[in-house]
Amino acid sequence: MAGTMTAPALDEAGANKKLRRKSSGRGTYVVLGLTALITLFPFYAMVIISLQPGVAISIPDSLFPTSISLDSYRDALDSQNIPQWAWNSAVYSIVSVVLVLLFASMAGYAFAKKRFLGREMIFWVFIAMLMIPYHLTIIPQYIIVGELGGLNTMWGMIAPTVANAQAMFLMRQFIKDVPDEIIDAARIDGAGEFRIYWSVVLPQTKPILATLGTFVFLWHWNDFLWPLVSQQSPGNYVLTVGLNTLQEQQVPLATLMASAVVTFIPALLVFIFLQRYFVRGVMMSGIK
């Protein structure tokens, strides 16, 4: 069998190459299209249901609606706390991104370019902490934030998330590649230490800042467990927690799905406009 297969394949390899590519291309498109449809179905269902308030969802008829209405969106935005939750999510995500990038780049710069006592030790303690699962630390974190008076406050929700070890590690790797010459040149020109960091080093790290910023934003926007346990009053909820309470309160399915769509839109926009930074970040994490 193997013998008979090998001989003709050898002969036809050159001649058939083009032909085979073409036919495999069409088959590939079918598979690609089908998997894309399966991947997109939950999004499609979410949008379709949100546009049909008051309709008992029957399958497959209601998946191809004849009439649509935006009532659920009006209901979601008026009678629910969604604008407030969206604001909380935005503050939680954006403030965290700014602080994570600032602290991580400052520390990353020091670890990459400065010599100081304890540098290696402190750095490896940080990396070792990556091994500790989040769920082990969430209870003591809750107690500590409580002791500091941070439960049910925005700063108490943000503070534990800003010391991000992965972000610092990446910043250090990236700043290491910034040539020493330009730093020395700035120093000879009389630039102060903060000035060197801010106007010489940081501009060199723009791509990694964009990648990290995208990651940190989406991570916070979709974060659930910590906002869930650290905020008790509904006015302080972020969108993910609010969405879950709506689900528990069994609001109409269309309203729930409309709320879900509203939750998803900012993440979608970030993804569309910053996709290349995000994709690069993922690929970087795999190669190393």
Partner 1 sequence: MAAVVTPVDQRPTSDPPQRKRTPLWRSKGAMVAYVFILPYVLFFAVFRIAPAIYGTVLSFGDFSLSGAFTLEGLDNYRRLFADSLFWNALRVTGIYAAIAIPVTVAISLAMAQLCNRVLRGMSFFRSIYFLPVVTSPVLAGIVFIWIFSADGPLNSGLSIFGLELGSWLQSSVLVLPALALVSAWLNFGYNMLILLAGMLAIPVDYYEAAELDGASTWQRFRKITLPLLKPALFFVLILETVKSFQAFDTIYVMTGGGPVRASYTLTYMIFDQGFGYFDFGYASATGVVLLIITLIFSLIQRRILGRDN
Which of 97, 168 has the CB closer to partner 1? 168
Give DSSP secondary structure letters for 38-79.
Answer: HHHHHHHHHHHHHTSTT----TTGGGS-S----HHHHHHHHH
The CA distances from residue 94 to 197, 213, 266, in Å, are: 22, 9, 12
To the nearest whole angstrom, how small is the minimum distance from the Cβ of residue 176 to partner 1?
Answer: 15
CB 100 within 8 A of CB 162: yes
To the nearest whole angstrom, how small is the minimum distance from the Cβ of residue 65 to partner 1?
Answer: 14
Which of 136, 188 has the CB closer to partner 1? 136
d(CA 140, CA 137): 6
Closest CA to 126 of 170, 171, 169: 169
What type of residue sits at position 217? F
To the nearest whole angstrom, how small is the minimum distance from the Cβ of residue 202 to partner 1?
Answer: 12
To the nearest whole angstrom, how small is the minimum distance from the Cβ of residue 235 to partner 1?
Answer: 19
Which of 116, 179 has the CB closer to partner 1? 116
Which of 18, 135 has the CB closer to partner 1? 135
To the nearest whole angstrom, how small is the minimum distance from the Cβ of residue 110 to partner 1?
Answer: 4
CB 105 within 8 A of CB 202: yes
Which of 57, 71 has the CB closer to partner 1? 57
Which of 119, 176 has the CB closer to partner 1? 119
* Tokens encoding 137: 């630390």
Angle between helices 253-287 and 206-222 (to 10 degrees): 140
To the nearest whole angstrom, how small is the minimum distance from the Cβ of residue 43 to partner 1?
Answer: 7
Which of 114, 206 has the CB closer to partner 1? 114
Residues with Cβ within 8 Å of 216's Cβ and at least 6 positions away in sequence, in order, are 93, 96, 97, 100, 101, 164, 167
To the nearest whole angstrom, how small is the minimum distance from the Cβ of residue 21 to partner 1?
Answer: 9
